[in-house]
Chains A and B, each alone.
Chain A
Amino acid sequence: MDTSKLKGRPPFPFETIAVAIAFSPRLEALLSESHHLAKTFGARLILIHVGTANASKADKIQKVCAKAGITNPEVIWKEGTPATTILQVCKENTVDLLVIGALKKESLLRFYIGSLARTICRKAKCSVLLLTRPSSIRRKPERIVVNGVEHPKTTESLKTAVYFAEKYDVKEVKVVKELDMTGMAMTLADDTTASHANKMKKEITSEAEGYLESIIHQCQTRQVQLTEKTVKGKPGFAIGKYARDKKADLLVLNSPDKSLGLLDRIFTHDLEFILEDLPCDILLVHSRNHSEK
């Protein structure tokens, strides 16, 4: 397999979009959304199904695809462990964006065991779009929130969000930075005067705003207005809450730096807070330039 095309490949433009399919009641809506995405981005669309190929399944897929508006579906059939197999197919086909349907919230047990959609998010080596409410009738995203975490990947994620917003003609994208005040309470309680405490808090906020301004400056375009916002709270949780409160349609995040495991779910942090209860559709941007092997 030639994976040389993957190394250093930018997260956009989306040239190949894949959709992971299973025979669920939401299949038609998921295919319809994926078809629309492929048309919008001018991308090749491939359908991945993990399971044994047979005539009845193929027939069913053809029918659902026809309903979703896909005329000549390119279906890849593979057998194996669903998450690993899907990700392998994505790698082999240089997929830029993998689309999966996901429930907003899962039962506690399911969360710990790990559903297919969540497992893929934890391990993916390409960008992933989690659709929480796939619909046959297209909804145009209106409110996009991007995580402005201080990380080398963030600029590429923001550029990808802008690319997405331009294609969907979204006028404003909010870049949100979470201010984790861990450690502040104990420092302030020690021997700090009120004015010093306020000064420290202001410094932290203005430092965060400075960072946002710098990345916004790098990604600003004429079509999309990028605005900044800082929110206090734990990374992952705070931005998820913000997206939910603001009724965002899409939350854009960096892909995790390493494969997340069970311990990361027990001692929840960052992306795991969002996967626990999806506030809206999620776009995980995988920046191959900065990712780990």
Chain B
Amino acid sequence: MNGLNSTELIVLLLSISVMLISSRVLAELGKRWKLPVVMGELFVGILLGPTVLGLISPETFSFLFPPTGNVPIAMDGIFKLSVVMLLFVAGMEVQLPLVLKQGKVAISTSFFSMIIPFATGFAVAWYFPELFGINAEGKIRLLFALFLGTALSISALPVIVRILMDMNLFKTNVGMVIVASAMFNDLFGWLIFSVVLSMAGQPDNMNIGYTILWVLGFGIFMLTIGKKIIDRILPWVQNKLSWPGGVLSGTLGLCLLCAAFTESIHIHAILGAFIAGIAIGDSVQLHERAREIIHQFVTNFFAPLFFVSIGLKLDFVENFNPVIVGVVLLLSFAGKVLGAYIGARLGGMGTSNSLAVGFGMNARGAMEIILGTLAYQAGLISQPIFVALVVMALVTSLSSGPLMRKFVKT
């Protein structure tokens, strides 16, 4: 078996080091203006990628990030592992009991904030594909429409929680409704997206019914029996094995096992990791400290690598299409804010707070960027659409807090 030679190993280690250190520096600078960390990481990618470094010093760029050989293969493995880990921690924050606990208003808000953006996104992509520079028919058009609908439906829970905590709204009725609804959106959004991805990677005659059955079967098993088993095993792992080594190896091992399982049944590995995250994160037995360690590890090692890598893959200036960006932004605001507003109103909330819920749930953050990256890699979307999704993720995350503040009444 051929492995990395010494020079390749040096390049790999150097590039990872540059990515980690520079993204941390920019994230810290961004903090001064209250900018999200992911923005700094993306910016580092743009600086180190073809947009800036590739333009001013192509030799340095191709030295640090060689396009061929073993290094890009190793890098690709690390990035794929990163996205699996990111979805794992995203899953850990989904607390399904919270949705039930919040009752009618959360269920109604979740439903409408999912279905309206999905329907508007799907309809516009299906009837007006030329707006996105697409002129395909049949399966590709359908997949793109399904993807856009899904992309507009999800929310970025970590960004939302952060905004709510900063505004001291986390424990209020509005805050809990937003969090519960965003969790529900994420669960269904990633389920649908996994099916769409698996459709994209399969021949036309693939039986989509089987894929959905597998997805549902796996999800139901993990969230019922699987969760009970985890609840039984975790105390033993945490009390009898080394701390925190035991729980880290156990939980991350289970995450990768589930990811491998879903990948083996032709559903993307992210879904396995996401569901494993929900099952583990929802366990009452998981110590808060263990939860924090897993988060810290993933957020500060894997997340920067993943988000920096996005900027390395494409030229953001060249692929910036104002029409596509405008359409995506308009659809994202209209669908999500309107959907969540209608849901919250039907659930019994007042006009002002319903609008606050709408703007609160509009934050897409890192989740949208992950979704866009996977869709781009799977050939579902073009580079300009991907860039538009990244811009949308940043604009919605940055505007969510101030707009919510305008309407919320505690």
Cβ contact within 8 Å between A191 and B101: no
State in angstroms the CA–CA spacing of A185 and B95 once bound together: 13
Cβ contact within 8 Å between B100 and A189: no
State in angstroms the CA–CA spacing of A200 and B223 once bound together: 31
Asked if A181 CB lies within 8 Å of chain B CBs, one says yes
Given A183-B170, A232-B288, A269-B97, are A189 and B299 also a contact pair (CB < 8 Å)?
yes
State in angstroms the CA–CA spacing of A287 and B369 once bound together: 48
Asked if A69 CB lies within 8 Å of chain B CBs, one says no
Which of A185, A234, A237, A258 lies in contact with B103, CB distance below 8 A? A258
Cβ contact within 8 Å between A191 and B179: no
Interface flags, A256-280, vs B, CB<8A=1, else 0: 0110000110111110010000000
Asked if B83 CB lies within 8 Å of chain A CBs, one says no
How many chain A residues touch B (Cβ–Cβ < 8 Å)? 29
State in angstroms the CA–CA spacing of A269 and B92 once bound together: 16
Contacts of B388 in A (CB 8 A): none
Cβ contact within 8 Å between B165 and A183: yes
State in angstroms the CA–CA spacing of A182 and B170 once bound together: 10
Contacts of B100 in A (CB 8 A): 263-264, 267, 269
State in angstroms the CA–CA spacing of A60 and B96 once bound together: 48
Asked if B234 CB lies within 8 Å of chain A CBs, one says no
Asked if B157 CB lies within 8 Å of chain A CBs, one says yes
Interface SS of chain B: helix
Contacts of B93 in A (CB 8 A): 182-183, 185-186
State in angstroms the CA–CA spacing of A230 and B234 once bound together: 23
Which of A150, A181, A270 lies in contact with B288, CB distance below 8 A? A181
Asked if B162 CB lies within 8 Å of chain A CBs, one says yes
Cβ contact within 8 Å between B295 and A185: yes
CB-nearest residue of chain A relative to B297?
A189
B284 to chain A, nearest CB (A): 4
State in angstroms the CA–CA spacing of A11 and B224 once bound together: 37
Contacts of B224 in A (CB 8 A): 266
Asked if B98 CB lies within 8 Å of chain A CBs, one says yes
Asked if B80 CB lies within 8 Å of chain A CBs, one says no
CB-nearest residue of chain B relative to A240?
B284
Asked if A190 CB lies within 8 Å of chain B CBs, one says yes
CB-nearest residue of chain B relative to A186?
B158
Which of B96, B98, B101, B162 lies in contact with A187, CB distance below 8 A? B162
Contacts of B294 in A (CB 8 A): 185
List CB contacts (< 8 Å) of B288-315 with chain A: 288, 291-292, 294-296, 298-300
Asked if A22 CB lies within 8 Å of chain B CBs, one says no
State in angstroms the CA–CA spacing of A237 and B89 once bound together: 22
B278 to chain A, nearest CB (A): 10
State in angstroms the CA–CA spacing of A163 and B370 once bound together: 56
Asked if B27 CB lies within 8 Å of chain A CBs, one says yes
CB-nearest residue of chain A relative to B220?
A266
State in angstroms the CA–CA spacing of A250 and B164 once bound together: 36
Cβ contact within 8 Å between B170 and A189: no
Which of A150, A181, A183, A258 lies in contact with B179, CB distance below 8 A? A183
From B36, B98, B164, B228, name the one whose CB has the most chain A CB atoms within 10 angstroms. B98
Asked if A188 CB lies within 8 Å of chain B CBs, one says yes
Which of B96, B171, B299 lies in contact with A267, CB distance below 8 A? B96
Asked if B152 CB lies within 8 Å of chain A CBs, one says no
List CB contacts (< 8 Å) of B61-104 with chain A: 89, 92-93, 95-98, 100-101, 103
Asked if B31 CB lies within 8 Å of chain A CBs, one says yes
A270 to chain B, nearest CB (A): 7
Given A181-B288, A186-B158, A189-B299, are A270 and B101 also a contact pair (CB < 8 Å)?
yes
State in angstroms the CA–CA spacing of A234 and B283 once bound together: 9
Cβ contact within 8 Å between B288 and A186: no
CB-nearest residue of chain B relative to A179?
B288
Asked if A233 CB lies within 8 Å of chain B CBs, one says yes
List CB contacts (< 8 Å) of A186-228 with chain B: 186-191, 200
B210 to chain A, nearest CB (A): 25
Asked if B37 CB lies within 8 Å of chain A CBs, one says yes
State in angstroms the CA–CA spacing of A190 and B224 once bound together: 30
Cβ contact within 8 Å between A186 and B89: yes
State in angstroms the CA–CA spacing of A186 and B100 once bound together: 22
Given A183-B93, A186-B295, A270-B101, are A191 and B284 also a contact pair (CB < 8 Å)?
no
A267 to chain B, nearest CB (A): 4
Contacts of A234 in B (CB 8 A): 284
A254 to chain B, nearest CB (A): 13
Cβ contact within 8 Å between A269 and B101: yes
Query: Can you identify 24 A-B contacts, CB atoms within 8 angstroms?
Result: A150-B171, A182-B93, A182-B95, A183-B164, A183-B165, A186-B93, A186-B161, A186-B162, A188-B295, A188-B296, A189-B89, A189-B296, A190-B36, A191-B28, A232-B288, A233-B284, A238-B284, A258-B103, A266-B224, A267-B96, A267-B100, A269-B97, A269-B98, A273-B284
Q: Which residues of A contact B (CB under 8 A)?
A: 108, 150, 181-191, 200, 232-234, 237-238, 257-258, 263-264, 266-270, 273
Q: 10 closest pairs, A vs B, by CB?
A: A269-B97, A189-B295, A189-B299, A237-B284, A183-B161, A185-B291, A267-B97, A185-B295, A186-B158, A267-B96
Q: Which residues of B contact A (CB under 8 A)?
A: 27-28, 31, 36-37, 89, 92-93, 95-98, 100-101, 103, 157-158, 161-162, 164-165, 170-171, 179, 223-224, 228, 282, 284, 288, 291-292, 294-296, 298-300
